[in-house]
Chain A
Amino acid sequence: MFKTIANLKIGEKAFIEKLCLDNIPLKLLEMGCLPGIEVQLIQKAPMQDPLYIKVNGSHLAIRIETAEKITLVK
């Protein structure tokens, strides 16, 4: 089982291993979400989706479907 951003607990940090490039919007990379970069889950929206993350100095909200495609280093 791969660990993805969607599996993070609130406040937990981890390094991005790989982004499933075919399904990830280029925009997300451009916002700083890159392999080898540390990501932190800051908060989940009330219905567990979208996720509020901090990555590369940016604070972003992404939907779970996107978060599931970003695997993390265990």
Chain B
Amino acid sequence: MSNDNVVKVALIGNPNTGKTSLFNQLTGLKQKVGNYPGITVEKKQGFCKLSETVKAEVTDLPGTYSINPTSMDETLVLETLLNEKSEAFPDVIVVVVDIENIKRNLLLFTQLKDLKIPTILVINMIDQMKRKGINIDIEKLEKSLKTKIVLASARKKIGVDLLKEAILDYKSVDTTPVGKISEKIDKEYFANLKNAFKEFPLYKSWLLITQQNEFDFLSDEQKKLVLKFRENLECIKRYQHKETIFRYQIINEVLNESFHIDASKATDLRGILDRVLTHKIFGYLIFAAILLFIFQGIFDWATYPMDIIDNAFASLSSFVKTVMPPGSFTNLIAEGIIPGIGGVIIFIPQIAILFTFISILEETGYMSRVVFLMDKIMRKFGMSGKSVIPLISGTACAIPAIMASRNISSWKERLITILVVPFTTCSARLPVYAILIALIIPDKRIFGFLNLQGLTMMAMYLLGFTAAITSSILLHHLLKIKSKSLFVIEMPNYKIPSLKNIIYEVVEKTKAFVFGAGKIILALSVVLWFLASNGPSSFKNAEETVTEMPENKNINSAELQKKIASYKLENSYIGYMGKTIEPVIKPMGYDWKIGIALISSFAAREVFVGALATIYNVDSDDENTGTIKERMAAEINPDTGKKRFDFPTGISLLLFYAFAMQCIGTLAIVKRETNSWVWPLLQLVGMGILAYVSAVIAFNIFS
């Protein structure tokens, strides 16, 4: 058992029961989000003081309808509760139920209670009781459910103190199961099972044999026994169904005595909203309008803070250079680490805005309606209605988008979603598109109001979306994965979103991005900096070589410095790398300098502009795209005598960046989420070939 002064509490409940609100009320800002070892499901923990000497360590487990998992998130709940040696194994379980859906919510409660861990029942949203005409006899309910009940309204901060008292007193909670279900199903079978695993509560043994997962905490002998029981799969399935039916029988009996609802009090706001929001015309129109609004937020409002961040980091770099003694350590900080951190921070506004919208849509209950509206359409592409959320999120960043696919229970639908999300135009592609479009598309208006450059940008978005859809159709037909559809979603009641929950959610998601993807981007920018600022002997002698060149005798020192920088780059490690790949990228119309930018942006696309800025030795301190653009526009291709960034090369680059998988962060997350290198490699190679071939074709058509 754990330390007496810390009570380990597991907070469990169905989705949409206000469990997270209660968690936020209990722990306030004393939360930490970590990962469970080996898997990416976030582990939300927080602390709260129960008395002068005792505090509670509260773990907010993912929402689930039953202890039998149907998705990755839910598996975690099961594993935490079965493994007594697990770090998060609770002293006491707090089950949160929504008063309006108490019947369905109690199913999970009766399952958990059978595990013989002290279990407290929190009936949430009691502020709705009167309005909904609900009457509840708590004493009777406590008696028949053999538990301690706390009435609460997490949003109105009711009942939180009572819950703390109940947790403190958890040892007095009755741990006997609610009914003798096993005897009703098959007395003999369960007696056998009980004998096989004498050391476990019966229900725990039952759960061990009904799941398909392997449980690492079992001994080899126990594992063998589990496998033996699992052989009779049909029988297990039948008994599972019976179990559920018997549980509902018990719940119905219990509620008949102690719970009454006056149906005449029900208002039909839900019905009216549903009819409008899932209407065959208005439903889609409203969804389209909301999407438009979100994109407006991501691409318009976010530019202001992004510009500020961009400038702040540029001035920080030059500030560091002026105050610190010159040398490679200063350069590492000013040219490697600071721009590296800046490259991560700059995405925070877009990601925060996106998640604000998404969490509002989820909190209000609207997201389920979108899933309902879109499911049939998405299924034609081998995905699920639930894939809509990852695909929208992908327009900001593929990493959180891929994580958002976890609640898709069909493996095939989830896999296809994960595989195609990187085609959506993420914000890292924006600066690349922006500079290339500015170079090759004239700043003209057609029909007097449509800006040609803006249209091209829109075309690039459509291109990304089309690529995602087309590849999903392809994958749908190619992937021979049989996975049973378990599509059952709850259509929750509409709610006014809670500001606190939204803020917590946004902060948490943004933090996950910054610390997850951020580490990789930062590390790689340091590596790039090293490769660009070091090289073999020709690099070390750059200064002398350039100064002694006859054509450089009469130029001023600023000009000379730029020439040295450019010569250094050419002879740095990365310069050599660029020259090595030149033969390969030539068919797309690129030279070794663009090659460097390609290599640099393999880790993260947005590095492209910065790399070009270095290559065309623009003074990077004033971060002025105009000057980079001018340099790029002035660059001449020595082979043809024409502009380096002419129309064919520009189009070729645009296509390459639209299709290629240039994001280490995404590859890493795909590996983690699919638990295999096959899928990220498939993305890398598949998207790479598509990018290369289309760039070559485009270059040759337009040349």
Contacts of A35 in B (CB 8 A): 245
Contacts of B32 in A (CB 8 A): none
Contacts of A60 in B (CB 8 A): 488-491
Partner of A63, one of B68, B284, B368, B375: B375
Residue of B nearest to A35 (CB): B245
Inter-subunit contact B486/A27 (CB<8 Å): yes
- The distance from the CB of B93 to the nearest CB of chain A, in whole angstroms, is 18
Residue of B nearest to A62 (CB): B488
Which residues of chain B (257-274) have a CB below 8 Å from chain A? 270-271, 274
- B280 within 8 A of partner (CB): yes
Inter-subunit contact A27/B283 (CB<8 Å): no
- Of the four ranges (under 10, 10 to 19, 20 to 34, 35 or more), the interface on chain B belongs to 35 or more
Residue of A nearest to B238 (CB): A21
Inter-subunit contact B484/A25 (CB<8 Å): yes
A42 to B274, CA, bound (A): 9
- The distance from the CB of A37 to the nearest CB of chain B, in whole angstroms, is 8
Inter-subunit contact B491/A56 (CB<8 Å): no
Knowing A46-B280, A46-B373, A50-B376 are in contact, say whether A27-B70 is a contact too (CB < 8 A).
yes
Other than A32-B107, A46-B283, A46-B373, give 4 A-B pairs with Cβ distance below 8 A.
A43-B274, A43-B275, A46-B279, A60-B489
A61 to B104, CA, bound (A): 15
In this complex, the member of A27, A32, A34, A47 whose beta carbon has the largest number of chain B beta carbons within 10 angstroms is: A27
- A49 within 8 A of partner (CB): yes
- B244 within 8 A of partner (CB): yes
A50 to B369, CA, bound (A): 11
- A1 within 8 A of partner (CB): no
Q: Mask for A25-38, Cβ within 8 A of B = 1, else 0?
A: 11111111011000
A66 to B488, CA, bound (A): 9
Contacts of A42 in B (CB 8 A): 271, 274
Contacts of A7 in B (CB 8 A): none
13 A–B contacts from the bound complex (CB under 8 Å): A21-B238, A27-B66, A28-B488, A30-B244, A46-B279, A50-B376, A52-B274, A57-B100, A57-B103, A59-B491, A59-B493, A60-B490, A66-B488
Which residues of chain B (295-334) have a CB below 8 Å from chain A? none
Residue of A nearest to B490 (CB): A60
Chain A: interface residue total (CB-CB under 8 A)? 31
Contacts of A32 in B (CB 8 A): 103-104, 107, 248
Inter-subunit contact B492/A59 (CB<8 Å): yes
Give chain B's interface residues, CB within 8 Å of chain A: 65-66, 68, 70, 100-101, 103-104, 107, 237-238, 240-241, 244-245, 248, 270-271, 274-275, 278-280, 283-284, 368, 371-373, 375-377, 385, 484-493
- A12 within 8 A of partner (CB): no
Inter-subunit contact A50/B104 (CB<8 Å): no
Residue of A nearest to B248 (CB): A34
A21 to B237, CA, bound (A): 9
Interface of B is mostly: helix
Inter-subunit contact B245/A61 (CB<8 Å): no
Residue of A nearest to B70 (CB): A27
A23 to B461, CA, bound (A): 40
Residue of A nearest to B280 (CB): A46
Inter-subunit contact A61/B372 (CB<8 Å): yes
Inter-subunit contact B244/A34 (CB<8 Å): yes
Partner of B245, one of A34, A62, A65: A34
- The distance from the CB of A29 to the nearest CB of chain B, in whole angstroms, is 4
Knowing A30-B65, A60-B489 are in contact, say whether A45-B372 is a contact too (CB < 8 A).
yes
In this complex, the member of A30, A45, A62 whose beta carbon has the largest number of chain B beta carbons within 10 angstroms is: A30
A21 to B238, CA, bound (A): 8
- The distance from the CB of B419 to the nearest CB of chain A, in whole angstroms, is 22
Contacts of B70 in A (CB 8 A): 25, 27
Contacts of A46 in B (CB 8 A): 278-280, 283-284, 373, 376
Contacts of A49 in B (CB 8 A): 375-376
A34 to B368, CA, bound (A): 23
Inter-subunit contact B487/A62 (CB<8 Å): yes
Knowing A32-B104, A34-B248, A66-B485 are in contact, say whether A61-B65 is a contact too (CB < 8 A).
no
A44 to B412, CA, bound (A): 25
Contacts of B65 in A (CB 8 A): 27, 30-31
A27 to B68, CA, bound (A): 8
Inter-subunit contact A61/B368 (CB<8 Å): yes
- The distance from the CB of B636 to the nearest CB of chain A, in whole angstroms, is 56
Contacts of B279 in A (CB 8 A): 46
Knowing A30-B68, A43-B274, A59-B492 are in contact, say whether A50-B487 is a contact too (CB < 8 A).
yes
Inter-subunit contact A61/B486 (CB<8 Å): no
A46 to B373, CA, bound (A): 7
A28 to B489, CA, bound (A): 9
Knowing A32-B248, A43-B274, A45-B373 are in contact, say whether A63-B487 is a contact too (CB < 8 A).
yes
A22 to B233, CA, bound (A): 11
Inter-subunit contact A27/B103 (CB<8 Å): no
Knowing A46-B373, A52-B372, A58-B101 are in contact, say whether A31-B490 is a contact too (CB < 8 A).
yes
Can you list the 9 inter-chain pairs with the closest CB atoms, starting with the nearest?
A: A46-B280, A59-B491, A47-B376, A30-B66, A25-B486, A29-B244, A61-B372, A49-B376, A32-B104
A47 to B385, CA, bound (A): 13
Inter-subunit contact A58/B489 (CB<8 Å): no
